[in-house]
Every structure is written in C-alpha cells, then in structure tokens.
Copies of this chain bind each other. A is one copy, B any other.
C-alpha cells in the first residue's frame, strides 16, 4: 500500500475541528446534515467533513447573516454545486439564482438607505449628547 501512517485522508476534518474553525456546535452540523445542507463522509460511525463541506458551511453562515432561511440557503447551495443536473433542472436552478441575485441587489439598495439614515440619526444623537454635556457643565 502506498499510504502509511494514519492514511492522512487528505484534507478532511473531524466534527470538533469544524466546530472550532467555524464556531458552531456539533448539533448544528448534524442538523445541517439532516437538512441536506452538508454531506460529510461517514468513516465507520464518524463524520469527516471535506473541503466541499467547508465551502458550503461558509455560504450557509453567510446566508444566515443575510436573513435567509435554511431552506432558501439549501436551494442556493445547489447552484454552487458542480452537480450532475440535467437540462430542465439546471434551468430551474439558474432561474432561481437570478431571482436571488435580484433580491440581494434590492437588499443592498435598502441597506445603503438604512445605513445613510442611521448615520443621520447618529449625528443627531451626538448633538443631543453634547448639548447635554454643556448643560451639565453649566451647573
């Protein structure tokens, strides 16, 4: 056999290594697997997470920060998947991704607006605070 010493199964991670790397719990990773968001290799009873799983998890966590549900994220992940989809399936996925892109661009516009507004309110807040301070000083 060409491989010795622990087989060095290249580039896979145990569940604990995953948890430490991404700051999630084992429960979360198993939950995502149950929801078909991740597909770790099963070596005997244990899970081994590949490069692909890591990439997917990154996208999952990002999606969550954008307020997407796990189901929405799952559908998006299919797009990033070098899968063996046939014509109609591929077309459907493509369609879906276009919509998500539109969603995200709308969301960005809103986000810009919201940031702008919040900046204004913060400026107003600073005024209030400094006004209060000078009033305090006057006593």
Contact = CB atoms under 8 A, between A and B. Distances in A.
A107 interface: yes
A119 interface: yes
Interface string A56-95: 0000001011111000000000011000000100110110
Q: Is the interface of A mostly helix, strand, loop or mixed?
A: helix
Most-contacted residue by chain B among A65, A110, A112, A114 (CB, 10 A): A114
B66 A114 contact: yes
Given A125-B90, A129-B94, A110 B67 contact: no
A71 to B, nearest CB: 15
A126 interface: yes
Copies, count? 2
Interface string A94-128: 10011011001101101110110011011001101
Interface of A: 62, 64-68, 79-80, 87, 90-91, 93-94, 97-98, 100-101, 104-105, 107-108, 110-112, 114-115, 118-119, 121-122, 125-126, 128-129, 132, 136
Given A97-B125, A108-B112, 17 more contacts: A62-B110, A65-B107, A65-B110, A79-B121, A87-B129, A87-B136, A90-B129, A93-B125, A94-B125, A97-B118, A97-B122, A100-B118, A101-B115, A101-B118, A104-B115, A108-B111, A111-B111
